[in-house]
Amino acid sequence: MVRDELLRLRARAEAEAATLAQDLKALFLASRDSNADDEHDPEGATIGFERAQLTALLAGARKRIADVDDALRRVDAATYGVCERCGQPIGDERLAGRPFARFCMACA
């Protein structure tokens, strides 16, 4: 059951990362041949800001994938739900909200 939920989380994060990577690539391609002065565009966000935002979101999605992969390794090693610092169980509420948590609330 835990493994299934982690696999669902991973699939969602992978789909999000793929979409963000595609959006970022499209932004780079669209702005590559443009000489627009987007730094002084009063209409909205700059291309640089959009690029930075997409890059940060993509990094976050990739981090979630790595966190879930780490949690799956802990499931396989039968250490999932055990705090890596103190060895006590991680609370069910914490795992429900953060299924890849490595530390209990006291150690987090």
Domain map (residue ranges) of the chain: 2-65, 78-108
DSSP string for 36-66: --GGG-TTS--HHHHHHHHHHHHHHHHHHHH
Q: pLDDT digit string (tens) for 43-66?
A: 556 777 888 999 999 999 999 999
pTM: 0.82
- In this prediction, residues 34-45 reach a mean pLDDT of 57
Q: pLDDT digit string (tens) for 91-106?
A: 999 999 999 999 999 9
Mean pLDDT, rounded, of the chain: 90
CA distances from 64 to 59, 102, 105 (A): 9, 13, 19
Residue 59 in tokens: 């990094």
